[in-house]
Structure 1
Amino acid sequence: MARIKPQALLIQSKKKKSPTRISLLTIIICNLVVILVVLSLYGTYKHWHRRLSSQPEIGLDEFEHVKNSGEPKKYDLPKYAVLNTSKGQITMELYKDSFPEVVDRFIDLCQKGFFRGMPFHRVIKNYVIQGGDFQRLGAAEDWTLKVKPNKEHAISPKHEAFMLGTTKSVSDSKGFELFITTAPIPDLNDKLIVFGSVVKGEDVVQEIEEVDTDEHYRPKSNIGIIDVILKQEL
């Protein structure tokens, strides 16, 4: 066999290592693929742009309404409160339009369980039953201890029996006194904020009114509120 000269081997080695040229057909195919991808992306963009443009715009007033829609409104507050007492249930309608701040506070305390286990610490026949903290009587003590149930006065609708009220010092965040009248009280407007009335369970109020009390009108047996249920409708 004939020997290949070293110079010929060098030439053959250079030919093998030279880069392969890309054909014209491959370049055309790559360009077509790039063009198709660009057109596809552009078509997707146009589709979503038309879809978003077709939706109605939300004006400022509507935006404010949507933004505030989650906030509780006064008319969304519970309208009734049911006191579960050791003598039975007392259902009360809340006057949220007359005294919204007081009703708000009462509802907030109900939700926090403030009245759960609260005793009726003063029961005055033909006058009022009172629940709350007997350690903090204040002005209410002077009023309830100066009972004049037999004195005749002109009676207004707010002086009727079975009205739900609290003291005018309700702004005190440390407590909340509950009063349910059992007879017309002439000086009710001067002493209480009336924020509700009994609509069911008057017999339970009267049964509580009949319990035996000591000389300070404190019930001799434990009687009080087990819990409170808030309702929008009866």
Structure 2
Amino acid sequence: MARIKPQALLIQSKKKKGPTRISVTTIILGNLLVVLIVLCLFGTYRHWSRRSLDHGETGLSNFEDTDSFVATKKDDSDGFGDLKKYDLPGYAMIKTSKGYITVELFKDRSPEIVDRFLDLCQKGYFKGMAFSHVIKHYVIHGGNSEGLGAAGEWISKGKLHSDLITSPKHEAFMLGTSKAKHNSKGFELFITTAPIPDLNDKLTVFGHVVKGEDVVQEIEEVDTDEHYRPKQNVRIIDVTLKREI
């Protein structure tokens, strides 16, 4: 048998296939693909989680996101009465056609009225409410006026008692509602623009303005007819409830 020359053996060895090597580029591309898949899965998870949370809190759209609280009401009649006082919003940002008025609510002094006010805010009751009467150096009033009588009577009493000593309850920029109305379906809003001691027996004060006094004064300056009704439409656009400001 003829011997194979060393040179021929070398040629044959070169023709044999060696183990396949994976390039560095292929490894990098594979890792990038895995990372991309993980990021896509994570993004999908976050999207559906946030969507589920948004659907669960649809009824709290009147609360500022950063300061909102989650509360489950038993039914509409319960309002917020089953919550602790510190859980309730302490402020209301009233957006008017003239600007924002921020009010601190008296949760301790007038809990029932504040509870009713918060419940109505949640239901959008005050959206579009017009300031139906504007009496300079007295009050601006949203809602019907049947609870307090004729506007002229308010002014005459205000002038008569203007020299009386007033308490914080009678100061300017106080938020109140008619005592004759707050237990019914209606709810009026009054913001005083001067100390008014004579309204103590007709108004329940449940808050005071802490920001936006200039907006109150701008509304106070609008032109009115002989019945103190504004000649231009001045209204509440929306109310946002906040725990802190």
Q: Same fold (TM over 0.5)?
A: yes
Correspondences of 1:15-164 after superposition (within 5 Å) = 72-132=83-143, 134=144, 137-142=145-150, 145-148=153-156, 149-151=158-160, 152-164=163-175
What residue in structure 1 maps to residue 179 of structure 2? Answer: 168
- Give the deviation of 1:144 after TM superposition: 6.0
- Give the deviation of 1:143 after TM superposition: 6.0
CA distance, structure 1, for counterparts of residue 137 and residue 123 of structure 2: 32
CA distance, structure 2, for counterparts of residue 147 and residue 139 of structure 1: 15
State the TM-score, normalizing by the size of structure 1: 0.66
- Give the deviation of 1:95 after TM superposition: 0.1
Conserved? CA contact 2:151–2:227, under 8 Å: no
SS in 1 for 2:149: helix
How many residues are treated as equivalent by the alignment?
161
Structure 2 counterpart of 1:150, one-letter code: K
Conserved? CA contact 1:102–1:170, under 8 Å: no
Q: Identity of aligned pairs, percent?
A: 67
Provide Cα deviations, 1:89-115, integer angstroms capped at 9, x if missing partner: 000000010111100000000000000
What residue in structure 2 maps to residue 180 of structure 1? Answer: 191
CA RMSD of superposed structures (Å):
1.5
Q: Does 1:196 align with 2:207?
A: yes
> Unaligned stretches of 5+ in structure 2?
1-81
What residue in structure 1 maps to residue 237 of structure 2? Answer: 226
CA distance, structure 1, for counterparts of residue 153 and residue 237 of structure 2: 26
State the TM-score, normalizing by the size of structure 2: 0.63
Match of 1:215 among 216, 222, 226: 226
Conserved? CA contact 1:128–1:181, under 8 Å: yes
- Give the deviation of 1:140 after TM superposition: 1.2
